[in-house]
Amino acid sequence: MSANGMTRQMNSFKQRYSLYFLTFILLVVPAYSSSGMGTVVIDSMVNEIAGLENYLQILEDSTHKLTINQVIHSDYQSKFKPAVIFSEELSPKNTYWGKIVLKSELDRDSDWVLVLEDYWPISYVEAYITYDNQTFEVKKAGKLTPTPELDIKEGRFNKLHVFLPKNREEAAIFLKIRNVDHRPIGFTLKLENNISWFKKQEINNILQAIFHGILWVMIIYNFSMYISVGDKAYLYYVLYMVLLSMYALYYMGYLKTYFIGNHTRVNDYVWVISAYAPSVFYFLFARYYFRIKGRLPLTDWLIKTWVAIKSTILVVFLLILFIFYNTKLVGTMGSYLMLFEIGLYVVSLIYVIHATTKAKTKNAIYFIFGTSILLTSTVVFILNILIKGQGNYLILQAGIIIELIFFSFGLADRMKLREIKVQKSRERLIEQLQENERLQTEVNRQLEEKVKERTQKISRQKEEISQKNEELVALNEEKNYLIGIVAHDLGNPLANIKLYAQLIKRTAEKLSEKHINQLNIIEDSTENMMDMISKILDVNAIEAHKIKMNMEEVNLSSILNATIDELREKAENKNLSIYLDTSSEEAKVDKFYAKQTFDNLISNAIKFSEPGKRIHIVVKKKSDKVRVEIKDEGPGICADDMKKIFRKYQKLSAKPTGGERSTGLGLSIVKKYVELMQGKVWCESEPGSGSTFFIEFDKAEKPVVNKV
Ligand code: ADP
pLDDT at 147: 63
Pocket test for ligand 1, best of 532, 542, 599, 604 (most atoms within 8 A of CB): 604
Of the listed ranges 90-99, 180-189, 226-235, 698-707, the one predicted with least confidence: 698-707
Q: How far is CA 54 from CA 79, 128, 358, 501, 559, in A?
A: 17, 18, 56, 166, 144
Digit-coded pLDDT (tens) for 263-291: 778 888 998 999 999 999 999 999 998 88
Sign (positive or negative) of CA dihedral 426, 427, 433, 437:
positive
Of the listed ranges 149-163, 189-203, 480-494, 683-697, the one predicted with least confidence: 149-163
Average pLDDT over residues 427-452: 95
Q: What is the number of other CB atoms lying within 10 angstroms of the CB of residue 536?
A: 17
Sign (positive or negative) of CA dihedral 188, 61, 182, 126:
negative
Dist CA 706 CA 618 (whole Å): 18
Determine the number of helices (DSSP H) and then strands (DSSP E) in the chain. 18, 19
Dist CA 9 CA 140 (whole Å): 28
Pocket test for ligand 1, best of 651, 668, 681, 685 (most atoms within 8 A of CB): 651
**Which numbered atom of ligand 1 lies nearest the CA of 664?**
8
Name the E strands within 528-652. 551-555, 577-581, 586-590, 614-622, 625-632
CA atoms within 13 A of residue 519's CA, in its CB half-sphere: 16
The answer, yes or no, to whether residue 708 has pLDDT greater than 50, is no
Dist CA 195 CA 201 (whole Å): 10
Dist CA 318 CA 333 (whole Å): 12
Pocket test for ligand 1, best of 652, 671, 691 (most atoms within 8 A of CB): 652
The answer, yes or no, to whether residue 509 has pLDDT greater than 90, is no
**Which numbered atom of ligand 1 lies nearest the CA of 645?**
12
Cα-trace Rg, the chain: 62
More confident residue, 545 or 634: 634
Helix (H) or strand (E) holding 130: strand 124-131
Average pLDDT over residues 72-82: 81
Q: Which residues line ligand 1 (CB under 6 A)?
A: 604-605, 607-608, 632, 634-635, 637, 645, 650-652, 654, 662-667, 691
Dist CA 34 CA 545 (whole Å): 145
The answer, yes or no, to whether residue 469 has pLDDT greater than 50, is yes
By percentage, how much of the chain surpasses pLDDT 70? 88
Strand partners, 128: 138, 174
For ligand 1, the distance from its centroid to the CA atom of residue 653, given in whole angstroms, is 9
Nearest CA, atom 23, ligand 1:
605
For ligand 1, the distance from its centroid to the CA atom of residue 650, given in whole angstroms, is 8
Nearest CA, atom 10, ligand 1:
664
Nearest CA, atom 19, ligand 1:
604
**Side chain identity at residue 227, one-letter code:** I
pLDDT at 4: 40
Digit-coded pLDDT (tens) for 346-386: 888 888 888 878 777 888 888 888 889 988 998 888 787 76
| 296: Cα separation from own chain's centroid | 27
> For residues 631 and 608, is the Cβ–Cβ distance under 8 A?
no
Of the listed ranges 54-63, 124-133, 138-147, 657-666, the one predicted with least confidence: 138-147
Digit-coded pLDDT (tens) for 411-429: 888 888 888 999 999 999 9
Exposed / middle / buried, residue 315 (Cβ in 10 Å: 0-12, 13-18, 19+): exposed
The answer, yes or no, to whether residue 114 has pLDDT greater than 50, is yes
Let me know how long the chain is. Answer: 708
The answer, yes or no, to whether residue 13 has pLDDT greater than 50, is no
pTM of the model: 0.53
Dist CA 352 CA 138 (whole Å): 55
Pocket test for ligand 1, best of 608, 610, 630, 647 (most atoms within 8 A of CB): 608
Nearest alpha-carbon partner for 272 in 340, 209, 329: 329
For ligand 1, the distance from its centroid to the CA atom of residue 447, given in whole angstroms, is 54
Model confidence band, residue 572 (pLDDT cutoffs 50, 70, 90): very high
Nearest CA, atom 21, ligand 1:
604
Q: Kindly give, in sequence order, each residue whose CB lies less than 8 Å from that of residue 459, ignoring residues fewer than 6 positions away.
A: none
The answer, yes or no, to whether residue 167 has pLDDT greater than 80, is no
For ligand 1, the distance from its centroid to the CA atom of residue 508, given in whole angstroms, is 39
Nearest alpha-carbon partner for 274 in 312, 309, 238, 240: 240
By percentage, how much of the chain surpasses pLDDT 90? 34
The answer, yes or no, to whether residue 15 has pLDDT greater than 50, is no
pLDDT at 158: 53
pLDDT at 702: 66
DSSP 438-493: HHHHHHHHHHHHHHHHHHHHHHHHHHHHHHHHHHHHHHHHHHHHHHHHHHHHHHHH
Model confidence band, residue 201 (pLDDT cutoffs 50, 70, 90): confident
Nearest CA, atom 26, ligand 1:
654
The answer, yes or no, to whether residue 25 has pLDDT greater than 50, is no
Three-state secondary structure call for residue 67: coil
For ligand 1, the distance from its centroid to the CA atom of residue 241, given in whole angstroms, is 101
Nearest alpha-carbon partner for 675 in 593, 568, 604: 593
Model confidence band, residue 37 (pLDDT cutoffs 50, 70, 90): low
